[in-house]
Amino acid sequence: MAKAKNIAEFIIERDEKKCIKCQACVRVCSNDVHNYDEETEEILSDNIKCVGCHFCEDICPTGALTIRRNLSETKENAHWTRDYIYKVVKQASTGGILLTGMGNDRPYKNYFEHIVLNAAQVTNPSIDPLREPMELKTFIGRKPDRIIYDKTRGKYILKERVTNLLELELPVMFSAMSFGSISLNACKSLAKAASASGVYWNTGEGGLHKDLYPYADRAIVQIASGRFGVNVEYLEKAAAVEIKIGQGAKPGIGGHLPGEKVSEEISLTRMIPEGSDAISPAPHHDIYSIEDLRQLIFAIKEATSYRKPVGVKIAAVHNVAPIASGIVRAGADFITIDGIRGGTGAAPVAIRDNVGIPIEIAVAVVDQRLREEGIRNQASIIAAGGFRTSADIVKAIALGADAVYIGTAALIALGCHVCQKCYTGKCNWGIATQDPYLTRRLNPEIGAKRLSNLLRAWALEIKEMLGGMGINAIESLRGNREQLRAVGLNEVELNLLGIKHAGEAW
Amino acid sequence: MKPRRILIKEEYCIGCRLCEVYCITQHSPSKDIIRTYKGSEVRPVSGIYFEEKGSVSFAIQCRHCDEAPCIENCLTGAMYRDEKTGRVLHNRDKCVGCWMCVMSCPLGVIKIDYEKKKVVSKCDLCIDREFPACVEHCPNEAILLVDEKGERVEKKSG
Amino acid sequence: MEYDQLRKLEKNAHIPSGCGISGIVNRKGNLFSGEKIITSICLMTERGNGLGAGYAGYGIYPEFKESWCFHIMYDDIRVKETVEAFLENRFDIVNEEPIPVKNVKTLKYIPLLHRYFVDIKNGRKEDLYSQQEYILSTVMNINKNFDGACVFSSGKNMGIFKGVGNPEEIGEFYKIYDYKGYIWTAHNRFPTNTVGWWGGAHPFGILDWSVVHNGEISSYGINRRYLENAGYYCTLFTDTEVITYLFDLLNRKHKLDFEVIGDILAAPFWDSIDIEQDMENKDFWKTLRIIYSSALVNGPFAIIVANSNTIIGLNDRLKLRPLVSAEKGDFVYLASEESAIRCICRNPERVWMPDAGEPVIVNVKRDRKGKDG
């Protein structure tokens, strides 16, 4: 057949008994799925256009809509699943790279689900976080190995102060999402929530919009291969600087914000002409080696008078531990490692689903490597890529991370239903879009509140888990792999993670 | 006293027009959304106006003006100010359908009931309930309730 | 279980235990018999279950006080020979003899117990730090690489005596009452496993440090990795070992005062740092917590740590295990229970409960030689 039709991924069920024909669904869908026929006074829905974002389902005042997956099955085949068949169909039609958004959705082994936590019983008491102090305060940045002080008349006076640290009220931050990849309202939501919750947000490679200046003291600003929006003010306003080498969703791949999304505001913020494509090259063309990276790190430190931590973000790849060690030795104050499940606004499916290694293992080997080399104090480790619950965070910290970045989880708090269509720019939730009809759907007041709620809820859960272990400060969990046990992992995995199997005592 | 008022945040109006749906439902006999729309009862007219141009949209309703032209110009005293709440309200029994209020309203938020030749619909800030229906149901908090000082009043949860 | 199995279990597993601890010091450094400490620790029978006890005494070897003293236990004569060959290579052996013991019929699995007084070959006596590093590496080497040998004491003019048994049996076995010291500490163990290996009993010591400890450390995993980063290899997998190395690292290498070490191991809560009015104190505590976050000892503990000049009592930051102190004249007492103090000092001048995380630090100011008391 010369022309193959795409199959509908979803089926829209409309309960006619409940539908009051208010047409809210018609008005809100950015994919023009729903249409009102004036003559028949009926609403017709075109399944094939539906991306499964569930916005209409949410907005429907009577609950008349249900979005279901289309179960139309191809012949059962464990190898040629429906997904793979239709990918081929699509590419045979378009001749192009398949694009997608969000993180890897393939069923790779999820190590978080093979790790269980400890609790205190008898020989030490568990601690009730409602009645006893439970500390989550975390510092990100370079720390000296020892304290130097003078003792005068019974009082200890510091001789060398520790500066340039980020102080977090809980070890969770919002990962890099640029203004451009997401809407300004989404950026505002993240920035407000980070400020209110005592954590940090990250500008991504999108520059710092003037509206976000009030939250700049809680911003980690990114310098990526396109250098968009980088100027002295950008560096001076920020709390910290992150050099982005790679990201988990597309290691080794650059970025491309199409010209049609480069509005006036984005053009001003990124310092590029309105309507021009914003292309981030795959590598930094001034960093072809570790010594080049060192130069950039120190150029930034010079530019900011050594007053801000400068970190480096890399994707978790095969050689992650030696690379991380090199980065620390090159002068980075923190290192961000983004695992294979890290999200993105747009990436080729083939890259997103096949390149990189899981964050659990990456964190474990990097922490171990830095300790073996005696340089763990010199840089903090921030883990990113697929953190879904407070328990994932607790496990990552016990494996050795200082803090984690959340991206997808934050967007879900803002409404995202992980439909993976970010790259279309038609995000109905007003997140991954610059369309003025759509961006207004994300009210940053609501967004910030919901994000703060999420952080608060996770902080409470982390405290409960810590208390259960008989620990009352997060630093006693960090790298404390004795609090972890594996269920169903093999010896190689256990060694890499540095944990014992369930059933093994201390 | 000054009444609570509705504050419109047009930058967050998503144009779903659910405020109208809920206004109508609230002022219907059954106050049930499906009965209001699909049942046999007479569906009231919305007290909220929806305006839209390009990507900008908002919903507007009676501002309950401190100096209300509709009250001044009412021949029969059907349009009056409720002393207790400060709201501008309408007494259907006194209304003769001269529509002076409609003509004098600077915002055009009073509607005509053509069938009964009376003024039927204007926002009463949901007289039967603590919290106006449009405010409560706006999915994006583009319609807010503010108190006499202009500070936001939030519905107590639970 | 067979002895060999028990030993493996003890050496390779982290065994939580509850315990009784006691310590006595004479501030002037006057020597007194070990009898007192036996009386004190033996009073707290309920705090042990007969599976481990031990004593540490300082000032007990005045005749060899300039030599390093190793107490080594051997599983058999073969390993003894190999270790002795190794020692002879590294040291001038001033004196060596079996540790004198008394036959106590109730004790099981008694290993070969031997002590050596040694000088470092061509050792530059003025450089104490390199001597200490040398001793440390020797002890680590033997404990790690010589299967069946365990160095359980390696200081100068001090010694640790321990074994599997109750404190009466162990005290009698080593004839602790025959020694005279100016600091004594003791331990009565309540392990939650069956134990048979004598090396697992406490006090634990390295150089002239000795630690007796009651508690379980939930931060063990990170404390151990922190120490490995600093070059300490934990061979025994006990909380006590971790605490000992932390003291060695923080005091001997980082040169921190004991008060400061107390603020690291049992760090003040952020709540109290936040309300501190004195900015210098506030900065100091904050910096301390930032730099030494991995050395925070989390979980319930009460410890008595000693070296040749000091004895320190310390509780965890919530005081989840008991510790009482008392003083009378030149004597200061520390123990899990007040009764264990009153049974040797009926009317102390002062008895107090140290607050959570507040160290009791007693420095010994020895007269030139110290008098026998």
- Contact across the interface for C318 and A120, Cβ inside 8 Å: no
* Residue C373 in domain: no
Percent residues over pLDDT 90 in chain A = 90
If you measure CA to CA, which chain B residue comes closest to A447? B140
**Residue numbers in B near A445 (CB within 8 A):** 141
Contacting A residues, span 467-496, partner chain B, CB-CB under 8 Å: none
If phi > 0 it is left, if psi is from -120 to 50 it is alpha, else beta; for residue A275 that is left
* Residue C174, domain CATH: 3.60.20.10
Residues 6+ apart with CB under 8 A from A373: A325
**Residue numbers in A near B140 (CB within 8 A):** 440-441, 443, 446
* Residue C194 in domain: yes
For residue A143 the two structure tokens come to 């720390």
Decide: A428 and A52 in contact? Cβ < 8 Å.
no
Look-up of token digits 């706006």: B138
DSSP code, position A395: H
pLDDT of amino acid A195: 98
Tell me: pLDDT of C367 over 80.
no
DSSP code, position A297: H
CA–CA separation, B45 and A61 (whole Å): 18
Tell me: pLDDT of C373 over 60.
no
For residue C18 the two structure tokens come to 């509850």
Tell me: pLDDT of B29 over 60.
yes
Decide: A472 and C317 in contact? Cβ < 8 Å.
yes
CA–CA separation, C30 and B27 (whole Å): 95
* Residue C370 in domain: no
pLDDT of amino acid A1: 55
If you measure CA to CA, which chain A residue comes closest to B143? A443
Residue A503 touches partner C, C-beta closer than 8 Å:
no
Between the alpha carbon of residue A394 and those of residues A316, A362, A478, C230, C290, the distances in Å are 19, 16, 9, 25, 20
Sequential DSSP letters for C169-231: HHHHHHTGGG-EESEEEEEEEEESS----GGGSS-EEETTEEEEEEE--TTHHHHHHHHHHTT
Instruction: Give the model's confidence band at A2: pLDDT under 50 very low, under 70 low, under 90 confident, else very high.
Output: low
Residue B35 touches partner A, C-beta closer than 8 Å:
no
Decide: A462 and A169 in contact? Cβ < 8 Å.
no
Strand (E) or helix (H) holding A42? strand A42-45
Residue B139 touches partner A, C-beta closer than 8 Å:
yes
Computed over every residue of chain C, the mean pLDDT equals 90
pLDDT of amino acid C144: 87
* Residue C7 in domain: no
Kindly report the CA angle at A204 between A198 and A210, in degrees rounded to 5? 75
Residue B157 touches partner A, C-beta closer than 8 Å:
no
Give the minimum alpha-carbon distance from B71 to chain A in angstroms, rounded to a whole number.
33
> pLDDT tens for residues A149-164?
999 888 999 998 898 9
Instruction: Please choose, from the candidates C41, C44, C243, the residue with its C-alpha nearest in 3D space to the C-alpha of residue C161.
Output: C41
Burial C198-208 (b: 16+ CB within 10 A, else e): bbbbbbbbbbb
> pLDDT tens for residues B43-87?
888 889 899 999 999 999 999 998 999 999 999 999 999 988 889
3-class secondary-structure state, position C350 = strand
Range of the domain at C295: 16-363
Residues 6+ apart with CB under 8 A from A185: A430, A439, A440, A442, A443, A444, A447
* Residue C11 in domain: no
If you measure CA to CA, which chain C residue comes closest to A137? C270
- Contact across the interface for A62 and B33, Cβ inside 8 Å: yes
> pLDDT tens for residues B80-113?
999 888 899 998 888 888 889 999 999 989 988 7
Between the alpha carbon of residue A366 and those of residues A326, A333, A361, B77, the distances in Å are 11, 15, 9, 80
CA–CA separation, A489 and A257 (whole Å): 41
pLDDT of amino acid A73: 74
What residue type is assigned to position C282 of the chain?
K
- Contact across the interface for A443 and B140, Cβ inside 8 Å: yes
Task: Count CB neighbours of C47 within 10 A.
Answer: 22
Q: Which of A123, A132, A162 sits opposite C291 (nearest CB)?
A: A162
Q: Which of A151, A158, A482 sits opposite C221 (nearest CB)?
A: A482
Best A16, A26, A441, A449 member to test B by mutation, with max B CBs in 10 Å, is A441
- Contact across the interface for A480 and C270, Cβ inside 8 Å: no
Instruction: Give the model's confidence band at A3: pLDDT under 50 very low, under 70 low, under 90 confident, else very high.
Output: low
* Residue C308 in domain: yes
Decide: C354 and C335 in contact? Cβ < 8 Å.
no
Percent residues over pLDDT 70 in chain B = 94
Q: Which domains does chain A have, with CATH numbers?
A: 10-96 (3.30.70.20), 160-501 (3.20.20.70)
If you measure CA to CA, which chain A residue comes closest to C254? A146
Radius of gyration of chain A (CA): 24
Residue A161 touches partner C, C-beta closer than 8 Å:
yes
If you measure CA to CA, which chain B residue comes closest to A56? B16
Cα torsion angle, A478, A481, A485, A491, sign: positive
Instruction: Give the model's confidence band at B1: pLDDT under 50 very low, under 70 low, under 90 confident, else very high.
Output: low
**Residue numbers in C near A161 (CB within 8 A):** 283, 287
CA–CA separation, A365 and A495 (whole Å): 10
CA–CA separation, B82 and B79 (whole Å): 10
> pLDDT tens for residues A417-465?
999 999 999 999 999 999 999 999 999 999 999 999 999 999 999 999 9
Decide: A345 and A103 in contact? Cβ < 8 Å.
no
Helices (H), B49-88: 69-72
Tell me: pLDDT of C372 over 50.
no
**Residue numbers in A near C280 (CB within 8 A):** 155-158
Instruction: Please choose, from the candidates A409, A238, A250, the residue with its C-alpha nearest in 3D space to the C-alpha of residue A314.
Output: A250
Identify how many contiguous H helices and E strands chain A contains and give both numbers: 15, 23
> Quick one: angle between helices C128-145 and C77-90, nearest 10?
160
- Contact across the interface for C260 and A147, Cβ inside 8 Å: yes
Size of interface A-C (CB pairs under 8 A): 130
Q: Which of A376, A470, A478 sits opposite C229 (nearest CB)?
A: A376
Could you give the maximum distance between any two Cα atoms of chain C, in Å?
63
- Contact across the interface for B55 and A437, Cβ inside 8 Å: yes
Look-up of token digits 């006194």: B94
Reading across the β-sheet that carries C91-98, which strands appear in turn?
Answer: C91-98, C112-120, C68-74, C149-153
Decide: A244 and A223 in contact? Cβ < 8 Å.
yes
* Residue C64 in domain: yes
- Contact across the interface for B141 and A446, Cβ inside 8 Å: yes
Kindly report the CA angle at B80 between B79 and B85, in degrees rounded to 5? 135
> pLDDT tens for residues C222-266?
999 999 888 888 777 788 899 999 999 999 999 999 999 999 999
Structural domain count, chain C = 1
Catalytic residues of C, by residue number, are 19
Provide mean pLDDT across the span A57-74.
Answer: 91
Instruction: Give the model's confidence band at C313: pLDDT under 50 very low, under 70 low, under 90 confident, else very high.
Output: very high
